[in-house]
Every structure is written in C-alpha cells, then in structure tokens.
Structure 1
Amino acid sequence: MKLLIVSQYFWPETFAINGLVDLLGEQGIDVTVLTGKPNYPDGDVFLGYRALGTSREHYGLAEVIRVPISPRGKKAAWRLALNYISFIASGVTLGPWLLRGRQFDAVFVYAPSPILQVIPAVLLARLHRAPLVVWVQDLWPQSLSATGHIKNRLVLKAVEWLVRQIYRSADRLLVQSRAFVQPVAELTADPSKIHYFPNLGPRNAVVSYGTERAIELARLLSGSFTVVFAGNLGSAQALDTIVDAAKLLRPHASIKVALIGSGSLDDWLKEQRILHGLDNLYLPGRFDPSDMPTIFGAAAALLVTLKPDPTFDLTIPSKVQAYLAAGRPIVAALDGEGAKVIEESKAGLCTPAGDATALASSILRLARMPITEREEMARAGRNYFVAHFDPDILIGELKTHLTQTIAKFGDRA
C-alpha cells in the first residue's frame, strides 16, 4: 500500500503522527509525508530548516516533503492565522507539483487544529484518484469558540461551512473520542463513514532512559512527592487551576508540582510563580519525547487538566494515553470523556474541571495514601492501556480502515 499523509505538523515537532508513521512503515506501508517547516510550539523555524523553499528528507522508512510556511511566531493572532493559511496555500499550489507522477492508494490526514489543513489533501486525493481518510483530533468550529480565539458568530459560521465541505469530501472520518461521533455526524450527510479510532499510546513508556538533563530533573522530582504535568502550556489546559491548587498546597512542603513543556502561557506561569512565591511549582521547560519515560518514572503522580467547556468534555487529551502507559497514578481536573477513561481504568483520582480546591485535595489525598494503593492505581492504568490503546493492536485497526476505504473507493470507481 502506498499512502500519502498530509499533516501541517510532523517530526521534529512532537506529535502523535510521528509514532504512527513509524508503525505504518513496520506494517510494510510505503509512506510519503507532505508537511510544513517545523516551528511548533515556539514559533521559530527549527535549526537546520528555513521557512522558504521546499525540501525533501527521510524519517525512518518514510519520505518527507516539506513546503514553505510562515512561522506561527509568539502570541500574535495574525501570525497564527498566517501560519495556517500559508500551509494551505503551499499545499494547494506546490503539493501537486512536488507529488507529480506519484501513485497513492489513499491519502490520510492527521487533523489536530486547524482542520483546514485538510484542504490541500482534498485536492491531492482528487488529483491522484485516491480515497481520503481524515483522523479528526479537534472539533471545529467548536474548539475555536472554546479557546476564545474566535468569538464572531459570522466567522464561526463560515468556518462551520468549510468544515462541512471537508467532511463531505472525506471517504472515511476517524474520530479520537467516541463523543466526537455525534458532533461530527451533524456536519456530514453520511454518518456511516465516521469510525472511532483513539490516539495511540507510546510503546516505550515504561523504559527508563533519557538525556543527562532529564536524569537530573528526575533526581529533583524524586526528592519529594511531585505531581507532573507534561505537554502544551496553553489556554485550553486550565493552567490557572493548577496554579491555584499550588497556592493551596504551599503549607505541605513535601508536595511539589512540575509543569513540563512550553506554550503560550510560559511567561504568565513564570510571573505567577514569582508573584505568589510558589517555590512548590517547577517550570523546567520542554524536553524531548525520549526523555518522558525517565521523567514520568520519577513522578509520584501525573497530572491532566482541561478548561470546563462542553467542547473539551468530548475530548480525550492524548496525554491520558501516555500517562496510562507510563504506569503511574493519575490525578485529573477534567470532565467528560477524559474523566470517564480515568475513572473506568481506576488509574487515579478525578475532580471537576476548573476546581482548584478539589484538585489540591486530590493531590493531598494521593500523597497521604499508602504506597500500595498508589501502586495498584498504576498497575490498573497500565493494564487499561494495554487493553484499549496498545499501539501494536491499533495500528492493525488503522490498516484495516485504510484497506476497507480503498476497496470501497475502488468499487465506486
């Protein structure tokens, strides 16, 4: 099978699509990736790349073709909008030329925000007479409204119309949460093409290795009861809830909170730490994904939070799978599907989204819990991961989705 993957984000940026490409290659699938120049999350093009021009390289067994992109910059809405538009424009104008003469059995889109990155894939699928499969990671336009990026109703309606066209053009829609099925179905005339396909967890989540920097951080974390949050530090993650919980936990000197990662709220977090004297709040910055097993292994518990919003209630944050795989207790402040997974797995303690007091109480309760109970939570989480999110099983399911879509498309041709 020859598969074209279209994704605005790809290695060396840290996204789930990287591991998926590795697994597809192991399945004997010939993968070509059309992507932009790496610049997420800091907004600057990575060292060794430049924003202009096209380039070709290899990632494992896959060929990677990169188109020009306007870097997202830092905190400027117009820069972010230009970043999105530039990938669409480059994909539509340069993609057909860069992929000329190629044959593909299917086109696959990894579609976190923005869903509009599917637009070049729609054109490429038609040009190459191949079916289009879209893996929906975020709900648009709902997520735009939930994060507060766009509030104008006319703009949201225009985005909704575009999303309808994208869903209509897809031959199969994969959704990362079962709760996505209904809102996606409302924007497509054929709900039968919607299928649940969750995010894959990491294979090596319980292996202990990492860089010297990660090992040093692990030593620091293991010196106290440290709760670790890892990932994007942005508005959707309800970081104010974590900061408020850290304030409440100050009297408990042995309890620390570490936020691993970077994002739009980096500066705000640093200001809050200084303003409120939060010596119990660590901000060590971003680490390579290969460092996460070392860091997670040193954590007393792993933390996940989301803003209280009906749209976020439908989402399972991808870090939930990674946390379950790591075999560490989880403490959470979120609602909906993410909370359901943690409760069903018996992997930890879950409190309502946005409730800092309840979150602080859960962390304190976990710290006072006998270690045998925490270890039981960790084992339960790992077992749930193996049963529901094992990448070696899920990659077989994805291959089946692709094969079925190709066969159905061939029948119509």
Structure 2
Amino acid sequence: MAARILIIGLNYSPEHTGIAPYTAGMARALREEGWDVEVVTGLPHYPQWQVHEGYPRQDGPLEVIDGVPVRRIPHPVPHDAGQLRRLGMEIVFGLRAARAPWGDPDVVVLVTPALFASAIARVRAALTRTPVLVWVHDIYTAGLAETGAAGGPATRVMRAVEGTFLRSCSGVVVIHDRFSDYLRRHMGVAGEKITTVRNWTHIAEAPTVDTAALRRRFGWEPQDVVVLHTGNMGAKQDLTNVAAAARVAEERSAPLRFVLVGGGHQRPQLEELAATTPRFEVLPSVDNDTYAGLLRAADILLVNERPGLTEMCVPSKLTSYFTADRPVLAAVEAAGPSAAELAAAGAGIRVEPGDPEALVAGAVRLHEEWITTGGTTHRGGRRYVREVLSRGAAVRSFLSALTRLRPDLRAEDRSPATVKS
C-alpha cells in the first residue's frame, strides 16, 4: 500500500490566491507521485472573507479535486478579518478538524499560518504518535509584531506558543531561507528539522486571454501606464499608500494608473478612496485565466508592504509576477525577503515603503527604462522561476522532508481517487 499523507489546512482550492494554490498543488503533485493523499480543509472564503457560493456552512460529502479526496470542515468566517475573529475561526476549524475522520495516516502535514488550528490538530496527532510535518508560509508572531496587531507582552506570549508548537513537530517546511534563520534564532527550532521548499508559480507563461481586449474591458487607455497590485488587501499590504501615490500622479500629470485586484478586509476602505481618487481603482477577484492575462496586460506589477516588514512573509504574488514577464516595482524594506527576491531575480526595482512620492518616481523610472531599452532590462523573472521556483524542485524538496521523517514510506502507482466516506 502507498504511504498515507493527511494534509490539514484552512485554505484550499477553489481559492486561487494566498496559500490555497500551493497546498492544493502539492497535494495533487504528491498524489501524482504515488502517495495516498487526503485533505481536511475549511470553507473557501479567501480573499473576499465570505464563503464562496455553493458551499454550505455544514458538513457535506467528500469532494475529489484533481484526484485528491477533500473533506470540508464548516467554520465561521469573520467579515472583517480582525485578529480576535480570525482566532475564533481558527479555533473552531481546529477543533472540528481534530474530530474529523482521519483514518490512519503515516504523516500529518499541518499548514500554517492557521497557528491555533494547527496546534489543536497537533494534539490529536500526538495522541496517536503520528509524525507531524508543519508547512510554514507566514511566521505568525513576527507578523503580529511587525504590523502592530499585538503589543509587546502579547507578542512574547504568542512567540512562546508558536515556538513550542514548531519545536514539537517532527519536521518543519518553510518557504524561504530567511524563515529558516528566524525559526532557529528566535524560536529555537533545530536546523536539522527544517527544509526550505520554495513556492512556485501557478499561472501559465502564455495565457490564452487577449491582453489588449482586457485593457479595453477595464477601460485602460493606450497611454495609461497601468501599475497593478494583486492579492490580499490587508494591513501588511498598506494599500492606502498606493491611493496616495495615485493622488501624487494626478497632481504631477504622470500617466500612471494604479489598479488593485483582489479582496481582503481593507477592500471597502480602498473602494471608498477609489471613488474620489483619480488614477486609482479597485477591481474584484478574477478567475485564473483572467488573472494571468491581467498580469501581462499591465505595464508594471506592484508589491507594496507596510514599512517595517523585514521578517514575516514572502509575497506569493512574486512567483506569478516573475512568470508574467513584466517589470516589478517593490515598495518594501531593503532588508526584507521581498527585496532579496527581487534582486535575485533581476526583475525590477525597489523603492522605500510608505512613501507615495517614491512610489510614483519609481514607477515612472521603471517604465522609462523598460521603454528605452525595448524591454530588455528587468526581465530575469522567468529565468529565476525556471531555475529556482519550479514546481518540480518544490515537490522534490517536500518529498525529501517527508521521507526524512519516515524513511520507510513508499509511493506506488495507482488509479485516481474516488469519493468514499
């Protein structure tokens, strides 16, 4: 029999931004490699923070998505993603996931930053002495500290909780070497437990969508230099800075048009700003094909982070940006992982975060360089994706982490999954 891998994570397909595409992609890849994979997950709700249409808020039958059996666990979805409400959602999901049918897995994979849900599931795995591999996409307490969402004492307590949880797991997968250094230095996680598995791109290099038609569809004029930001609209993205940059561009008659695509708890505030701010607009989330087309239809792709973020995350959007073969503008700290990724890829330029004038100046400069050189500069993104951020490399690294926990695990050839209860 093939080794059984149970993946537990709050986010999964059909969500197409954030963590979900990577969890779903890895589950599918492991199954294709011959592993018996099942998933326990929540209701699709991100980044809009509302349950997707057609998903009831109660237990339903198992789904099979791309050959992977998926069990949905009902839970509350907070409308504003505040810290306490998110905590409540995680705890409810964690308790119900811990009571769900698990079968007899050989390894349990827990996906964070759903820290409390993962910690609850960890208790059940400990009772059955099942090895646990935790897959860390964001460092929870680093995020609290850097965004100011919790005070000093609260952050110290949370760091102790997170550190205890991570140290208790049999293995730890992180998405960047910067995370590995942080976990060793600040949380006492043994280096031999940690494996770096880089996120990969999940969009097509050559989308079938007509990019010129997309520009017309969204009312973008040929002379508009579209600066596009995609994904979550939350505190760490600091997107009021982008609205302020749009006002600067209007004052200076710069041909820039700042566009946000996605969802998140700050979206209503940003929509209000868009109603009164020329050169600034907010679009809803789109399907995967349209998303890939929008990245190619834009002139500049934007990463905007709150000042002070140096540890907490590597934006998953960067992998998609690099694949789109458009120059990237990053308003991020020089010491942060986003700046390091951009420099390693040779795919754009960095400006200071929280400075709308610097954002406008950087966009103008980047576009002028792109036009002047005929698009020959800042084009290292695709090469970087192929050499460093490929799906195949990620799967190999993840398999290495799994087999390190259980050297006796074996995969086997078998037919695709069918629904069973």
Query: Structure 2-normalised TM-score?
Result: 0.87
Structure 2 regions of 5+ residues with no counterpart?
411-421
Corresponding residue for 1:104?
105
Displacement of 1:77 in angstroms is 4.7
1:227 aligns with 2:233: no
* Structure 1 SS opposite 2:376: helix
Q: Is the 8 A contact 1:121 1:132 kept in 2?
A: no
Deviation readout 1:131-175 (Å, 9 max, x if unpaired):
211111111212123223322x44333322321221122111111
Q: Is the 8 A contact 1:210 1:291 kept in 2?
A: no
* Structure 2 SS opposite 1:364: helix
Counterpart-to-counterpart distance in 2, 1:212 and 1:25: 38
* Structure 1 SS opposite 2:375: helix
Residue 331 (structure 1) aligned to one of 307, 311, 329: 329
In proportion to residue count, which structure has more helix? 1
After the TM superposition, which of the residue ranges 363-372 and 131-140 deviates more from structure 2? 363-372
Cα distance, 1:370–1:397 mapped onto 2, change above 3 Å: closer
Q: Is the 8 A contact 2:370 2:377 kept in 1?
A: no
Q: Is the 8 A contact 1:261 1:285 kept in 2?
A: yes
**Corresponding letter in the other structure for 2:12:** F
Corresponding residue for 2:270?
269
Deviation readout 1:148-204 (Å, 9 max, x if unpaired):
3322x4433332232122112211111112111232123235232122222122252
Counterpart-to-counterpart distance in 2, 1:216 and 1:78: 42
1:4 aligns with 2:6: yes
Q: Is the 8 A contact 2:49 2:264 kept in 1?
A: no
Cα distance, 1:150–1:55 mapped onto 2, change above 3 Å: farther
Corresponding residue for 2:306?
307
Corresponding residue for 2:317?
319
Corresponding residue for 1:19?
25
Q: Is the 8 A contact 1:205 1:322 kept in 2?
A: no
Cα distance, 1:223–1:31 mapped onto 2, change above 3 Å: farther
Residue 56 (structure 1) aligned to one of 59, 62, 65: 62
Corresponding residue for 1:395?
395
Corresponding residue for 1:199?
199
* Structure 2 SS opposite 1:64: strand
Counterpart-to-counterpart distance in 1, 2:83 and 2:398: 35
Displacement of 1:239 in angstroms is 0.8
Displacement of 1:210 in angstroms is 8.0
Cα distance, 1:352–1:13 mapped onto 2, change above 3 Å: same
* Structure 2 SS opposite 1:375: coil
Corresponding residue for 2:413?
none
Counterpart-to-counterpart distance in 2, 1:347 and 1:292: 19
Displacement of 1:238 in angstroms is 1.7
Q: Is the 8 A contact 2:142 2:311 kept in 1?
A: no
Which runs of structure 2 are paired with 1:284-299 in the superposition (5 Å)? 284-299=283-298
* Structure 2 SS opposite 1:369: helix
CA RMSD of aligned residues (A): 2.6
Higher RCO (C-alpha under 8 Å, 6+ residues apart) = 2
* Structure 1 SS opposite 2:12: coil
Counterpart-to-counterpart distance in 2, 1:202 and 1:221: 29
Counterpart-to-counterpart distance in 2, 1:367 and 1:227: 10
Counterpart-to-counterpart distance in 2, 1:48 and 1:171: 37
Q: Is the 8 A contact 1:69 1:86 kept in 2?
A: yes
Which runs of structure 2 are paired with 1:112-261 in the superposition (5 Å)? 113-151=113-151, 153-185=152-184, 186-188=186-188, 190-209=190-209, 217=217, 220=220, 224-250=224-250, 251-252=252-253, 254-261=255-262
Displacement of 1:345 in angstroms is 1.8
Counterpart-to-counterpart distance in 2, 1:338 and 1:109: 25
**Corresponding letter in the other structure for 1:254:** P
Deviation readout 1:290-345 (Å, 9 max, x if unpaired):
322111111111000111124x4453211111111111110110121111111222
Counterpart-to-counterpart distance in 2, 1:212 and 1:50: 38
Q: How many residues align?
A: 400
**Corresponding letter in the other structure for 1:270:** E
Counterpart-to-counterpart distance in 2, 1:213 and 1:370: 22
* Structure 2 SS opposite 1:220: coil
* Structure 2 SS opposite 1:65: strand
